[in-house]
A = this chain, B = another copy of it.
Amino acid sequence: MKARVTVMLKSGVLDPQGEAVRHALGALGFSGVEGVRQGKVIELDLAEGTTEAEVDEMCRKLLANTVMESYRIEFP
């Protein structure tokens, strides 16, 4: 089974990487880009029967820094 974890910086946290992308898009002539946030996505290939609670534990212990980042778990 597959699980997808998306980790984004929390909204109050400055995102210099996203800001750099926004600036670069403007320099390339794309107007109308009002904001950019960049995060990471982790696709897990898991043994059958792995529960959402286990994936949540993986996020809290390793995949996300819950002080600064929020995460979302999906089973596509």
Contact = CB atoms under 8 A, between A and B. Distances in A.
Interface in A5-63: 6, 8, 18, 21, 24-25, 28, 30-47, 49-50, 54, 57-58, 61-63
A36 B42 contact: yes
Nearest to A30: B58
A59 to B, nearest CB: 11
Interface of A: 6, 8, 18, 21, 24-25, 28, 30-47, 49-50, 54, 57-58, 61-63
Contacts of A62: 21, 24-25, 28
B32 A46 contact: yes
A54 B36 CA distance: 15
